[in-house]
């Protein structure tokens, strides 16, 4: 690559000491400069390309002007062109999708998305990180900092405690500056993305009773991933609505971990997810007691100030509430609020597309940040 030729040039010109001190900055700056000039493309791989999230990442990356999809793989019975698996990609990408070949992935990619089930990422992420690749993990393997909690909720001991310590939570609206310097990004879960963004302004302002948080969440079927299960057959889902994993969903510790950071105190929210008969979308209605007398106008102003510079969070005006159709196939989190003065109750409604801001597009947003691209590139 051109960046290494520049590196060797500087070294042979007796600038060794200078380069040793500033080599990382020089290499990254030259890389980003050449990418922006169009003379170089970021080579990206997608591990788990045949799942709902992996497919959506491919769809977004194909429209990204500064990215080349250079490697794809999945757990698959036989190698096939991705355009044969997903005919809508015909004429756009014809890479062969096969089972993971780590060496090939390392040779082909600068950055790798891990769109794989929980428990798998921690087996393969260390290999890519050792090879100096940027990794964006869409599983839960690097979200929880407490390894005992991980064992409790996911059923086995964490196998990569070393890299768990360097992982950065990929919620750009709260952790953008850390993401810029990250080598390993833990992309947030879909339910936590909506819950954390919905509650962040209120918690940081200290206006709510942190012991009173109730999150009522509803998700489309794709949130469970692409898998064969009786629970997700059409005849089981259609014309039906059900709560599941009441206050014991695996996203609970993630939600509580980051809400606690925002509030600077331990939080244990009540979390009740529901499965709704539609493909995509999450709508969360959150109830929390106010600990201070605040008008709806004041709280709305607080939320609008908090997200004033955030392109992908839209705070609705008074009297309006989000709908899932308004965020379909988009990277937005839409938020609306209502205050019941008599009950001193704040009601927050948040909507996201679980495959987009809840997974794939947020992962690409994180890629844009860490690579120095314009943050909304490929996401408009």
| CA nearest neighbour of 145 among 254, 225, 59 | 254
Distance CA 340, CA 62 (A): 46
Encoding tokens for residue 294?
A: 């605040």
Distance CA 347, CA 198 (A): 10
Where would I find the H helices in the chain? 2-12, 16-36, 52-61, 82-85, 102-108, 121-130, 147-154, 161-164, 172-180, 190-205, 234-237, 252-263, 296-306, 360-371
Residue 371 falls in the annotated catalytic set: no
What b-and-e string marks burial along 13-33, b requiring 16 or more CB atoms within 10 Å of the CB? Answer: eeeeeebeeeeeebbeebbbe
Distance CA 169, CA 186 (A): 5
Within 13 Å and on the Cβ side, how many CA atoms surround 71?
A: 21
Encoding tokens for residue 293?
A: 């007398």
What's the sign of the alpha-carbon dihedral 8, 9, 11, 12?
positive
Longest dimension (CA), the chain: 74
The catalytic position among 73, 190, 333, 371 is 190
Distance CA 254, CA 299 (A): 25
Phi-psi domain of 319 (left: phi exceeds 0; alpha: psi -120 through 50; beta: other): left
- Sheet holding 270-275: strands in order across? 242-243, 270-275, 214-219, 282-289, 345-352, 333-340, 313-315
The 3-state secondary structure of 174-238, one letter per residue? HHHHHHHCCCEEECCCHHHHHHHHHHHHHHHHCCECCCCCEEEEEECHHHHCCCCCHHHCHHHHC
Residue 241 exposed, middle or buried by CB count within 10 Å (0-12, 13-18, 19+)? exposed
Just list the catalytic residues: 190
């Amino acid at each position: 690559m051109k960046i290494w030729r520049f590196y060797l040039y500087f070294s042979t010109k007796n600038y060794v000491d200078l380069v040793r001190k500033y080599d990382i900055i020089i290499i990254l700056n030259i890389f980003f400069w050449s990418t922006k000039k169009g003379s170089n493309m970021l080579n990206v791989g997608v591990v788990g390309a045949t799942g709902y999230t992996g497919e959506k990442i491919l769809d977004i990356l194909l429209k990204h002007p500064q990215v080349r999809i250079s490697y794809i793989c999945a757990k698959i019975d036989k190698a096939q062109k991705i355009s044969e698996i997903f005919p809508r990609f015909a004429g756009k990408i014809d890479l062969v999708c096969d089972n993971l070949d780590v060496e090939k992935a390392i040779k082909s990619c600068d950055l790798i998305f891990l769109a794989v089930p929980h428990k798998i990422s921690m087996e393969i992420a260390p290999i890519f990180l050792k090879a100096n690749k940027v990794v964006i993990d869409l599983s839960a393997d690097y979200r929880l900092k407490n390894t005992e909690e991980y064992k409790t909720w996911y059923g086995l001991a964490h196998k990569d405690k070393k890299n768990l310590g360097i992982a950065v939570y990929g919620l750009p609206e709260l952790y953008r500056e850390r993401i810029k310097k990250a080598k390993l990004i833990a992309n947030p879960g879909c339910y936590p993305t909506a819950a954390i963004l919905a509650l962040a302004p209120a918690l940081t302002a200290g206006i709510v009773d942190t012991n009173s948080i109730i999150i009522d969440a509803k998700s489309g079927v794709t949130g469970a991933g692409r898998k064969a299960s009786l629970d997700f057959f059409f005849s089981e889902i259609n014309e039906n609505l059900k709560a599941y994993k009441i206050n014991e969903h695996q996203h609970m510790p993630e939600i509580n971990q980051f809400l606690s950071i925002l509030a600077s105190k331990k939080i244990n929210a009540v979390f009740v997810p529901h499965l709704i008969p539609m493909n995509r979308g999450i709508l969360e209605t959150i109830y929390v007691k106010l600990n201070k007398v605040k008008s709806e106008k004041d709280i709305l102003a607080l939320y609008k100030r908090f997200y004033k510079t955030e392109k992908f969070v839209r705070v609705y005006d008074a009297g309006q509430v989000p709908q899932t159709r308004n965020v379909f196939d988009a990277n937005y989190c839409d938020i609306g609020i209502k205050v019941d003065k008599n009950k001193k109750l704040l009601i927050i409604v948040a909507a996201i597309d679980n495959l987009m801001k809840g997974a794939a597009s947020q992962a690409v947003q994180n890629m844009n940040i860490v690579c120095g691209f314009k943050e909304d590139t490929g996401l408009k």
